[in-house]
Amino acid sequence: MNKTWIRRLKPEDVDTVAALNTLAFGGAEEAAIVRRLHADHDSLLSLVAHRHDEMVGHIEFFRILIGGKPSAVGLGPMSVLPELHGRGIGSSLVRMGLLVMAGRGESIVFVLGHPEFYPKFGFSAELAKPFKAPWSGPAFMANAINPGAPVEGELTYPAAFG
């Protein structure tokens, strides 16, 4: 049976998650970001996907300040084991993470990622445009997951993002 299941990350998973990110991204930059987010206690939610005993996917959510207030969430990095791409694991991680964030009352989530991948979950570059951030363009997207989300402001990212 090829059952995939999703659970919260445990502190002892950090090395496995770092290895998965390095493999999926083909470099260690994202793994370092994940390590730093956790070391700085800036991670809001970290989910991992499993198949049997193997960790096959990971997604990170972290706090973003708008105008100095903790009123937004960032998504990323996220990764899936390369040989399992295209089987819905990444989408399941995004959907579950967004549900948890909405349930916690968060109103807006930002991502810097593939413009072809994130719109199907409600992310839009238009929505992100009025926000002042270290990035811009079609890869910078926002998703209003609850009513009353901020529509503009200056974003501050955690130190992990430099």
Ligand X SMILES: CC(C)(COP(=O)(O)OP(=O)(O)OC[C@H]1O[C@@H](n2cnc3c(N)ncnc32)[C@H](O)[C@@H]1OP(=O)(O)O)[C@@H](O)C(=O)NCCC(=O)NCCS
**Min. distance of Cβ 152 from ligand X in angstroms?**
24
Residues 6+ positions from 3 with CB-CB distance below 8 Å: 51, 52
* Candidate residues 107, 113, 144, 161; the one interacting with ligand X per rule CB under 6 A: 113
DSSP string, 17-51: HHHHHHHHHTSSHHHHHHHHHHHTT-EEEEEEEEE
Candidates 105, 133, 136, 108; CA nearest to 122 is 108
29/18 Cα distance (integer angstroms) = 10
Amino acid at 90: G
- By beta-carbon proximity to ligand X, the closer residue of 2 and 147 is 2
Does 116 engage in binding with ligand X (CB under 6 A)?
A: yes
Tokens describing residue 3: 């059952």
- By beta-carbon proximity to ligand X, the closer residue of 34 and 108 is 34
Tokens describing residue 88: 């819905």
Residues 88-107 that bind ligand X (CB under 6 A): 88-91
Does 24 engage in binding with ligand X (CB under 6 A)?
A: yes
Does 87 engage in binding with ligand X (CB under 6 A)?
A: yes
Taking residues 41 to 80 in sequence order and writing x for each that binds ligand X by CB under 6 A, - otherwise, the string is: -----------------------------------x-xxx
Does 33 engage in binding with ligand X (CB under 6 A)?
A: no
* Candidate residues 117, 129, 149, 161; the one interacting with ligand X per rule CB under 6 A: 117
